[in-house]
């Protein structure tokens, strides 16, 4: 679907591009060093924690999704429907997701006080406000660092977006390129993971054997952490080549493929499931575009129509496969949309009262946390923001969000030290 | 091409050699005791170091290292062969000079400085080419580093030749916090980021006032964008501003203030201007403002004057890190007293030397390359345990010196704290007046604005008057004209009427003018009315300044004292920290020695236990033989006994038979005797009696004989029984002895096992200490560091090794020879030939440089992040393995290494060519035989095999690092 939004000011375009730039592609040599306790580390190795983040790019309307206000002057034309959890209603645009609500949790009191695309997106994926001269890693890099096993053959930080692809993103800041995202543009496998036809398999093996032998001689003179990292990168590369099928969604059963749908977002969701099953720590799936300054209702009707079925199938599959306890699900945007409807039947940027959907891991099942007032104008209960949510994501998979990364001898707080996790969003 | 390069070098050789002779040891010897910097560095490092060092790097490794560091690529095979064959004792200094004189030096150092200064930020305001060209030209012309950096720090982009210098600010969008952080890091080696909102919680030395003092230089920075032609062009101007007032987010309500301050220096003393008077060119739309007092100018001058220690030492440290792979201070942007230089005396020396030698980049790099420290190998030195003996002595000495140092540090801390307290008091009384000054200043700004508005109204009113007057003049003229026309054609009444109508307008317009003029006068009066108001607020401000000045000056003066006390404290803290670090390093060395000794003694114990075990085994074997002997004896005795017993049994039987015979004979004799008595005369009876008598005698004899035989057998039985018993006793004894010896052996074995386990543990401990020592020595110059190649170095090295560079240069050479052939005279002029070669290189470089992009995308850290941290990711390996770039470069192509390998029939020659070309060294015998068997196995597929070998070396760790 091609959207022609009103939001075409250069600022928006620039911000959007910057946002994309920061979210585009690395590999992981990771940690497990940040877990709350050594026992947790052992547990995690057995039952590896994972995180999936759906980024509703452009700003999903909370009123057409998680926090409908039917029958009010701000509510718009859509009805609210009951869900699998008595008492929780969501928009009728999400009928399938409604049936999975018993696995999920809506945070309805999000107030981030930032209506700019770039800044809002930055806050939601770093858990901090942008500050000149400072640069923080994006959520995926943090999880890759904290959750991925050093020997993992697949990248720990994957981005699946409708665009771009193949390369390493600039999103790990001081954590370093090992934790940057690898982007699978429109679901394509990472760049250079296929051996070129010009090189025979035997030839590739032979040259790598020779390389190893040459290394052995040199490393007997001097072997250090950096030589190890270097030689290991080739072994990792080979593991990725061997496991290239992990990125091939057509290897899933035809019935699953049809259940998720043949459109891009459906394929991306199924690919995400496939990769999570293969131990990838963090995946971000981008669904674009929700920046509906005009024709908000038509566009949400179409966009959520695409989103609902594969997302609901994804949640149900995770639950069926027993992966829900180890997998955190987050559905977020850079902000929500205005309760008032503008003269183009659009909704504009609105960050003071909107919703984020969570699920799995330590998130309480089948709940709604926080509340906005009758017309959705402000948060009246359970207010949370980008920073406290960021702490919560980390805690949900057993990472001590109050801990530090040690980078080059410097201690850097994992999350904004001025904020705390939201206890009500954790069991 | 290789030939041409070599020719060039060769031609320079005599000159270089001459220079080298002059420059290095001979001057020092002949002219007197001026010790060169490299000698002083080596002496200082030897004095303070671990007491041991890696052996010197071999020639091939040295040349690869120096080439990569100074020109960014490894030597060609020809250069290397000539260097290896050269027997001159000064060949290393010569090579260094040749590299510094090479055309590639400036280009490589321009890359290095570019990455250092811009950290791969996207080029926007200035193109990458202009920027690179600016840096390269600066280095090629030996522009002193401080001059270059001064241009960058003071750049505004207005002056066309220096416009590229403004990229530092403009491509950071003029953002004052970002610029503060990066100027702090890159120019002064201090990452003050964490001190932006409060004193750094991590680094004691980084204060919020340091951040704000530096920030003050950029706070007024303003990017002015103008449309020029069809392009937007931006400039970096500066708006005037006053002291910066700030508070810590942790200590709310306590205000501090600071003027602009160059790191580690005292505050700037700034003149106070009335608002509006600060500018030569005031700010306006599209105008780059020029203030009377430009702070950035002051920063540029003070920082680069040669007197700012932080600046000098930062740049010395960065150049050092470039050569040695690691800063004396590491990370290079963390100069502070808890992170002291590994050799503070060397850093001090380098900073001073850089300043004293007019900030010559080449000069400093040359000295660094000449040090023994630079020329050390990466290998861990051997027989360390022996050398560690002195470490214990050094350690004792260091321990002894420590208390005095700690006392000095405490003293300096106290002195600093006292002054700091004094400063805070003075500052506390200044702050309210400072606030008043700010208020008075804004009052002036406000009235000034009002005045400007009023003046504008006067101007507008006057314009109104002028317009009316102009209209009136035109009208008067028109009337005259109309009247003239009416007079010329009197019969046309309409004309006369028109003229009259026109004339009627005139008085009305004339009448309006005084009204308008009155407005002018009124507005003028309003201006006049504001003027005294302005004078008043200015006077008010002057009044505040008069009160402020006497308070400000002492704060500044105390601050200068604080700065100096702080520097002393920081030095004392750093000295102690480095001292402790040295103690720690020596302790590891001693620990290593002890671990080594323990390992050695444990292997002695293992050997002794092994020998005990061997002797125990021997004894057990002996005993086994003794046991066998006793068993034999028992068997023999038993056999004898059995024989005797069986004899006895047989004899008994015989005796019984004999006894029976004797009894029967006796009876027969008695019967015959009695018969004879009755029949005396029968001679036959007599004969029979005689015969029977004889027989009986014989039988008795036999019985006797058997009895005696039986006695003998019985005796033999007794003897054998006793023998058997003896043997059995002996056997039991032997068995007992055997058990004893076995138990002994078991004991010895468990001792051996214990000793072996101990030895294993001690060996692993020693191994651990050794790797700890290795890593510590990697950062303290004992061993040469491994330096990862930059993306540029990887790309250009592979282009050179695979012959692509040659091919491109050949194309350019042919092209130039066709389009601009050198005259015969020019061909004889070395300068012109060199210029031509440079031109060829430059043209080939321009054509090839886009190839670097792929390497930067994979091997460089993200834009805006520090670029010196090593990382290795799978996507890099995938790029080199499967992307077309490297694979296509190593394909065979006329005369390149792959092509030569295919054509070479002698495997030794092939191996030598391969290793010299790719790894810049000769292969070992083992490597030659490996290559030979590799190519031998693949004779039918030599092209693929050759590419595999080249690829295998290009992707090896040995290639990836400069070592």
Residue A45: per-residue pLDDT: 44
Q: Are A51 and A143 in contact (CB under 8 A)?
A: yes
pLDDT at B15: 41
Closest-CA residue in chain B for A172? Answer: B862
Measure in Å the smallest separation between the Cα of A375 and chain B Cα atoms.
37
Crossing angle for the helix pair A225-242 and B874-882, to the nearest 10 degrees:
60
pLDDT given at position A40: 42
| DSSP three-state, residue A349 | strand
CA distance A313 to A94: 12
Find tokens 């010197």 and name the residue.
Answer: B56
| Top-confidence residue, B682 or A159 | A159
d(CA B408, CA B404) in angstroms, rounded, equals: 6
| Pairing mode of beta strands A157-160, A282-288 | parallel
Among B869, B873, B961, select the one facing A168 at the smallest CB separation.
B873
DSSP B93: H
- Mean pLDDT, to the nearest integer, of B168-176? 96
CA distance B874 to chain A (A): 5
Interface of B with A in 179-208 (CB under 8 A): 180-182, 193, 196, 202
pLDDT tens for B192-233 read 988 888 888 778 889 999 999 999 999 999 999 999 988 999
d(CA B429, CA B552): 9
Characterize the bridge pairing of strands A104-110 and A354-359: antiparallel
Q: Residue B279 belongs to what H/E stretch?
A: strand B279-281
Closest CA to B949 of B905, B900, B906: B900
**From 3.40.720, 3.30.160, 1.10.3470, 3.40.50, which CATH number describes the A15-21+33-186+281-425 domain?**
3.40.720
Q: How many Cβ atoms sit within 10 Å of the Cβ of residue B26?
A: 12
Burial of B766 (0-12, 13-18, 19+ CB in 10 A): buried
Identify the pLDDT of residue B688: 83
Closest chain B residue to the Cα of A218, Cα to Cα: B958
The 8-class DSSP code of residue B22 comes to I
The backbone torsions φ and ψ at residue B376, rounded to the nearest 5 degrees and listed phi first, read -70, 155
How confident is residue B362, by pLDDT bands cut at 50, 70 and 90? Answer: very high
Question: What is the distance of C-alpha B444 from the center of its chain?
Answer: 55
The structure tokens 């190998």 sit at B377
Contacts of B823 (CB under 8 A, 6+ apart): none
Predicted local distance difference test score (pLDDT) of residue A44: 43
Question: Rounded CA gap, A169 and A187, in Å?
Answer: 16
d(CA B46, CA B27): 23
In chain A, the percentage of residues whose pLDDT exceeds 90 is: 77
Cα separation values, B404 from B340, B399, B401, Å: 18, 10, 6
Distance of CA B342 to the CA centre of its chain: 14
Query: How would DSSP label each residue in A273-342?
Result: HHHHHTT-SEEEEEEE----SSSHHHHHHHHHHHHHHHHHHHHHHHHHTT-GGGEEEEEE-S-EE-SS--
CA gyration radius for chain B? 53
CB-based contact (8 Å) between B351 and chain A? no
Q: CA dist B304 to B150, B218, B307, B765, Å?
A: 6, 17, 7, 50
Asked if B830 and B866 touch (Cβ cutoff 8 Å), the reply is no
Collect all residues of chain B within an 8 Å Cβ-Cβ radius of residue A137: none
Q: Cβ contacts of residue B710 below 8 Å, gap of 6+? A: B648, B651, B652, B655
**Domain parsing of chain A, residue ranges:** 15-21+33-186+281-425
| Residue A19 pLDDT | 30
Taking a C-beta distance cutoff of 8 angstroms, is the pair B909, B865 a contact? Answer: no
Tell me the angle at which helices B361-370 and B309-324 cross, rounded to the nearest 10 degrees: 50
Chain B residue numbers touching A135 (CB-CB < 8 A): 864-865
B291 touches B272 (CB < 8 A): no
If you average pLDDT over residues B885-896, what whole number do you get? 95
Decide if A227 and B963 are in contact by the 8 Å CB cutoff.
no
Per CB-CB distance under 8 Å, the chain B contacts of A239 are 874
Distance from CA of B862 to the nearest CA of A (A): 5
Which residues, 6+ apart, have CB-to-CB distance to B508 below 8 Å? Answer: none
Contact A200 B202 (CB under 8 A): no
Considering only CB atoms, which chain B residues are within 8 Å of A148? none
Residue A230 has its nearest CB partner, among B775, B857, B872, at: B872
- In this predicted structure, the answer to whether residue A27 has a pLDDT above a threshold of 70 is no
- Give the tens place of pLDDT for each residue, B680-705: 778 888 888 888 888 888 888 888 88
Q: DSSP labels for A187-247? A: GPPPTT-S--TTS-HHHHHHHHHHHHHHHHHHHHH---HHHHHHHHHHHHHHHHHHTGGGG
Strand, coil or helix: what is B892? coil
B700 exposure class (CB count in 10 Å sphere: 0-12, 13-18, 19+): middle
> What would the pLDDT profile of B67-85 be if each residue is shown by its tens digit?
999 999 999 999 999 999 9
pLDDT at B467: 92
What percent of chain B is modeled with pLDDT above 70? 96
**Is the previous residue joined to A289 through a cis bond, with omega within 30 degrees of 0?**
yes
- Res A25 pLDDT > 50: no
pLDDT value at position B914?
98
Contacts of A177 in chain B (CB under 8 A): 861-862, 871, 873
Q: For an interface test with B, give the residue of A155, A157, A226, A247 to mutate (most B CBs within 10 A).
A: A226
Contacts of A133 in chain B (CB under 8 A): 175, 177-178, 180-182, 193, 196
Provide the shortest C-alpha distance from residue B94 to chain A (in Å): 28
Dihedral of alpha carbons B333, B338, B342, B343, sign: positive
**Cβ(A294)–Cβ(A17) under 8 Å?**
no
State the average pLDDT for chain B.
Answer: 90
Q: How many CB pairs under 8 A join A and B?
A: 166
CA distance B930 to B598: 39
Q: Does the beta-carbon distance from A178 to B331 stay under 8 Å?
A: no
Smallest CA–CA distance, residue B414 to chain A, in Å, is: 27
Do the beta carbons of residue A237 and residue A147 sit within 8 Å? no
Which chain B residues have a beta carbon less than 8 Å from that of A174?
Answer: 865
| Average pLDDT of the segment spanning B508-517 | 88
Chain B residues in contact with A411 by the CB 8 A cut-off are 202
Q: Are strands A404-407 and A354-359 parallel, antiparallel or unpaired?
A: unpaired
The DSSP code sequence of B112-127 is HHHHHHHTTPPP-SS-
Determine whether the interchain pair A167/B869 forms a contact, defined as Cβ–Cβ distance below 8 Å.
no
CA-based nearest distance A402→chain B, Å: 16
> What DSSP line would sit under B563-631, residue for residue?
HHHHHHHHHHHHHHHHHHHHHHHHHHHHHHHHHHHHHHHHHHHHHHHHHHHHHHHHHHHHHHHHHHHHH
The answer to whether A214 contacts B872, with C-beta atoms less than 8 Å apart, is no
Q: Output the pLDDT for position B24.
A: 42
d(CA B50, CA B34): 27
Q: Taking 90 as the threshold, does the pLDDT of residue B780 lie above it? A: no
Residue A82 pLDDT greater than 80, yes or no: yes
To the nearest 10°, the Cα dihedral for B789, B793, B798, B804? 180
Helix (H, G, I), strand (E, B) or coil at A182: strand
Chain B residue with CA closest to A210: the answer is B952
Among A176, A177, A206, select the one facing B948 at the smallest CB separation.
A206
**Contact with chain A for residue B958, Cβ under 8 A:** yes
Predicted local distance difference test score (pLDDT) of residue B33: 60
Report d(CA A305, CA B228) in Å as an integer: 50
What sign results for the dihedral spanned by CA atoms B1, B5, B8, B14? negative
The CA distance from A150 to B547, in Å, is 65
Q: Does B782 touch chain A (CB under 8 A)?
A: no
Residue B496's contacts (CB-CB under 8 Å, 6 or more residues apart) are B486, B490
- d(Cα A300, Cα A308) in Å, to the nearest integer? 11
Query: CA of B839, closest CA in chain A: separation in Å?
Result: 36
Which chain A residues are Cβ-neighbours of B863 within 8 angstroms?
A: 170
Mean pLDDT computed over B253-258? 87
pLDDT tens column, B445-467: 899 889 989 999 999 999 999 99
What is the value of ipTM here, to two decimals? 0.84
Which pLDDT band holds residue A20 (cuts at 50, 70, 90)? very low
pLDDT at B25 over 70: no
pLDDT band at B775 (very low <50, low <70, confident <90, very high): confident
User: pLDDT tens, A90-104?
Assistant: 999 999 999 999 999
Distance (Å, rounded) from C-alpha A150 to C-alpha A237? 14
**Contact between B176 and A227 using a beta-carbon 8 Å cutoff:** no
Share of chain A above pLDDT 70, in %: 89
* Predicted pLDDT of residue B26: 41
Collapse the DSSP code of A106 into the 3-class scheme (helix H, G, I; strand E, B; otherwise coil) and give the result: strand
The reported pLDDT for the residue numbered A166 is 67
Please tell me the least confidently modeled range out of A83-97, A194-208, A269-283, B4-18: B4-18
Chain A nearest-CA distance from B954, in A, is 8
Specify the pTM. Answer: 0.81
Q: What is the pLDDT of residue B666?
A: 84
Residue A107 CB partners (closer than 8 Å, separation 6+)? A355, A356, A357, A358, A369, A370, A382, A384, A389, A422, A425
- Determine the residue of chain A that is closest to B250 in CA distance: A418
A182 touches A168 (CB < 8 A): yes
- Name residues 109-138 of chain B within 8 A of A (Cβ): none
Neighbours of B477 (CB within 10 A): 10
Token readout for B518 is 């009155």
DSSP string, B776-844: HHHTTTSSPPPEEPPHHHHHHHHHHHTTHHHHHHHHHHHHHHHHSPPPHHHHH-HHHHHHHHHHHHHHH
- Position A304 scores a pLDDT of 97
Q: Assign B32 a pLDDT band (cuts: 50, 70, 90).
A: low
Q: A135 and B865 in contact by Cβ < 8 A?
A: yes
- For CA atoms B953, B957, B961, B963, give the dihedral sign: negative
Task: Give the lowest-confidence range in A241-245, B30-34, B470-474, B564-568.
Answer: B30-34
- Candidates A107, A114, A113; CA nearest to A381 is A107
Chain B residue nearest residue A205, CA to CA: B948
Residue A286 distance to chain B (closest CA, Å): 22
Kindly list the residues from chain A whose CB atom is less than 8 angstroms away from the CB atom of residue B331. 408
What are all long-range contacts of B942-945, with beta carbons under 8 Å and residues at least 24 apart? B942/B901, B942/B902, B943/B892, B943/B898, B943/B902, B944/A200, B944/A203, B945/A206
């Amino acid at each position: 679907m091609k959207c022609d939004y009103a939001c075409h000011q250069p600022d928006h375009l620039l911000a959007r591009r910057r946002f994309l730039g920061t979210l585009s592609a690395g590999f992981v040599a990771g940690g497990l060093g940040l877990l709350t306790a050594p026992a947790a580390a052992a547990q995690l190795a057995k039952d590896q924690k994972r995180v999936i983040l759906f980024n509703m790019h452009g700003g999903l309307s909370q009123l057409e999704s998680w926090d409908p206000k039917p029958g009010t002057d701000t509510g718009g034309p859509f009805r609210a429907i009951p869900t699998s959890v008595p008492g929780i209603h969501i928009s009728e645009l999400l009928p399938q997701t409604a049936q999975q609500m018993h696995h999920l949790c809506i945070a309805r009191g999000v107030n981030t006080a930032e209506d700019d695309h770039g800044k809002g997106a930055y806050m939601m994926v770093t858990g901090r406000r942008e500050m000149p001269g400072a640069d923080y890693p994006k959520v995926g890099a943090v999880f890759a660092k904290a959750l991925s096993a050093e020997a993992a053959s697949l990248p720990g930080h994957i981005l699946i977006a409708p665009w771009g692809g193949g390369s390493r993103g600039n999103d790990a800041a001081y954590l370093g390129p090992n934790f940057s995202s690898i982007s699978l543009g429109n679901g394509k496998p990472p760049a250079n993971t296929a051996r070129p036809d010009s090189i025979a398999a035997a030839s590739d093996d032979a040259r790598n054997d020779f390389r190893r032998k040459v290394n052995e001689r040199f490393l007997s003179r001097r072997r250090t952490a950096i030589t190890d990292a270097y030689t290991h990168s080739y072994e990792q590369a080979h593991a990725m080549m061997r496991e290239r099928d992990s990125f091939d969604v057509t290897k899933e059963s035809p019935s699953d493929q049809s259940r998720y749908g043949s459109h891009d977002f459906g394929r991306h969701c199924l690919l995400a499931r496939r990769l999570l099953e293969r131990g990838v720590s963090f995946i971000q799936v981008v669904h674009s575009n929700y920046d509906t300054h005009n024709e908000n209702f038509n566009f949400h009707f179409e966009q959520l129509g695409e989103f609902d079925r594969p997302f609901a199938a994804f949640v149900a599959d995770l639950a069926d496969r027993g992966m829900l306890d180890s997998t955190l699900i987050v559905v977020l945007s850079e902000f929500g949309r205005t309760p008032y409807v503008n003269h183009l039947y659009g909704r504009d940027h609105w960050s003071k009262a909107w919703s984020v959907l969570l699920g799995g891991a330590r998130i309480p099942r089948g709940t709604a946390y926080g509340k906005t007032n009758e017309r959705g104008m402000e948060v009246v209960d359970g207010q949370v923001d980008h920073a406290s949510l960021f702490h919560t994501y980390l805690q949900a998979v057993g990472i001590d969000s109050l801990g530090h990364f040690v980078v080059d001898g410097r201690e850097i707080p994992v999350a904004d030290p001025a904020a705390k996790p939201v206890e009500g969003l954790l069991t | 091409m290789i030939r041409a390069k070599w020719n060039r070098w060769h031609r320079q050789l005599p000159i270089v050699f001459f220079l080298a002779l002059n420059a290095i040891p001979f001057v020092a010897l002949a002219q007197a005791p001026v010790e060169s910097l490299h000698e002083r560095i080596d002496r200082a490092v030897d004095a303070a170091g671990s007491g041991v060092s890696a052996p010197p790097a071999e020639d091939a490794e040295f040349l690869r290292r120096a080439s990569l560091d100074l020109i960014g690529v490894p030597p060609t095979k020809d250069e290397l062969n000539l260097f290896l064959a050269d027997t001159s004792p000064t060949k290393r200094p010569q090579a260094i000079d040749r590299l510094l004189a090479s055309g590639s030096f400036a280009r490589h150092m321009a890359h290095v400085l570019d990455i250092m200064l811009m950290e791969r930020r996207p080029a926007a305001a200035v193109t990458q080419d202009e920027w690179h060209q600016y840096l390269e030209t600066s280095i090629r012309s030996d522009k002193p580093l401080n001059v270059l950096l001064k241009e960058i720090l003071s750049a505004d982009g207005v002056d066309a030749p220096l416009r590229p210098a403004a990229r530092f600010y403009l491509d950071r969008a003029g953002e004052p916090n970002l610029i503060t952080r990066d100027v702090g890091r890159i120019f002064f080696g201090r990452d003050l980021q964490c001190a932006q909102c409060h004193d750094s919680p991590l680094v004691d030395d980084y204060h919020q006032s340091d951040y704000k003092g530096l920030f003050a230089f950029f706070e007024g920075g303003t990017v002015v964008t103008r449309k020029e032609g069809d392009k937007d062009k931006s400039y970096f101007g500066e708006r005037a501003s006053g002291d910066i007032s700030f508070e810590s987010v942790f200590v709310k309500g306590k205000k501090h203030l600071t003027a602009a301050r160059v790191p580690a220096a005292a505050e700037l003393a700034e003149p106070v201007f009335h608002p509006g008077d600060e500018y030569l060119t005031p700010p306006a739309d599209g105008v780059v403002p020029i203030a009377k007092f430009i702070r950035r100018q002051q920063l540029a001058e003070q920082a680069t004057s040669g007197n700012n220690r932080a600046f000098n030492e930062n740049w010395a440290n960065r150049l050092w890190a470039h050569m040695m792979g690691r800063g004396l201070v590491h990370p290079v942007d963390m100069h502070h007293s808890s992170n002291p230089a590994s050799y503070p005396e060397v850093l001090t020396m380098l900073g001073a030397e850089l300043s004293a030698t007019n900030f010559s980049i080449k000069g400093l790099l040359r000295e660094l390359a000449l040090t023994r420290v630079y020329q050390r190998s990466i290998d861990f030195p051997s027989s360390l345990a022996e050398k560690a003996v002195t470490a214990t002595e050094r350690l004792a000495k260091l321990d002894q010196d420590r208390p005095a140092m700690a006392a000095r540090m405490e003293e300096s801390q106290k002195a600093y704290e006292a002054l700091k307290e004094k400063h805070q008091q003075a500052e506390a009384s200044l702050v309210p007046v400072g606030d008043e000054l700010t208020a008075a200043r804004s009052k002036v700004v406000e009235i000034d604005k009002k005045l400007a508005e009023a003046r504008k109204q006067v101007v507008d009113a006057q314009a109104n008057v002028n317009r009316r007057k102009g209209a009136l003049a035109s009208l008067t003229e028109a009337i005259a004209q109309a009247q003239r026309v009416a007079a010329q054609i009197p019969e046309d009444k309409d004309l006369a009427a028109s003229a009259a109508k026109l004339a009627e307008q005139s008085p009305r317009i004339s009448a309006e003018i005084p009204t308008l003029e009155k407005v002018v006068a009124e507005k003028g009066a309003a201006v006049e009315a504001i003027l005294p108001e302005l004078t008043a607020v200015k006077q008010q401000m002057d009044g505040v300044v008069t009160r402020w000045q006497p308070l400000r000056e002492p704060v500044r003066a105390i601050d200068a004292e604080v700065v100096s006390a702080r520097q002393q404290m920081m030095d004392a803290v750093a000295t102690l920290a480095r001292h402790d670090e040295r103690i720690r390093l020596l302790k590891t060395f001693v620990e290593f020695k002890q671990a080594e000794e323990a390992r050695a003694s444990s292997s002695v114990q293992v050997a002794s236990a092994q020998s005990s075990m061997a002797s125990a085994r021997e004894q057990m074997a002996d005993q086994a033989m003794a046991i066998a002997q006793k068993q034999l004896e028992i068997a023999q005795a038993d056999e004898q006994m059995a024989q005797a017993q069986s004899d006895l049994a047989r004899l008994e039987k015989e005796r019984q038979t004999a006894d029976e015979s004797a009894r029967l004979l006796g009876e027969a004799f008695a019967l015959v005797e009695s018969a004879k008595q009755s029949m005396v005369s029968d001679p036959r009876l007599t004969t029979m009696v005689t015969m029977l008598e004889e027989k009986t005698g014989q039988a008795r004899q036999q019985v006797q004989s058997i009895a005696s035989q039986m006695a003998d057998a019985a005796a033999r039985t007794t003897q054998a029984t006793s023998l058997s018993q003896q043997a059995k006793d002996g056997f039991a004894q032997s068995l007992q002895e055997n058990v004893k010896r076995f138990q002994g052996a078991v004991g010895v074995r468990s001792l051996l096992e214990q000793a072996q386990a101990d030895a294993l543990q001690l060996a692993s401990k020693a191994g651990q200490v050794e790797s700890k020592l290795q890593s510590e020595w990697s950062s303290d110059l004992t061993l040469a560091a491994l330096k990862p190649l930059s993306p540029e170095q990887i790309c250009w090295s592979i282009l050179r090794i695979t012959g692509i560079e040659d091919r491109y240069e050949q194309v350019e050479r042919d092209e130039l020879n066709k389009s601009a052939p050198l005259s015969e005279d020019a061909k004889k002029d070395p300068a012109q030939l060199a210029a031509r070669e440079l031109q060829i290189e430059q043209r080939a470089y321009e054509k090839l440089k886009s190839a670097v992009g792929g390497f930067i995308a994979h091997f460089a850290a993200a834009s805006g992040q520090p670029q010196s941290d090593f990382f290795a990711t799978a996507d890099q390996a995938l790029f080199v393995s499967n992307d077309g770039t490297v694979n296509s470069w190593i394909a065979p192509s006329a005369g390149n290494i792959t092509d030569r390998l295919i054509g070479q029939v002698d495997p030794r020659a092939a191996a030598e060519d391969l290793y010299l070309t790719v790894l810049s060294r000769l292969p070992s015998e083992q490597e030659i035989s490996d290559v030979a068997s590799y190519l031998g196995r693949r004779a039918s597929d030599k092209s693929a095999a050759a590419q595999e070998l080249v690829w295998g070396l290009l992707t090896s760790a040995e290639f990836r690092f400069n070592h």
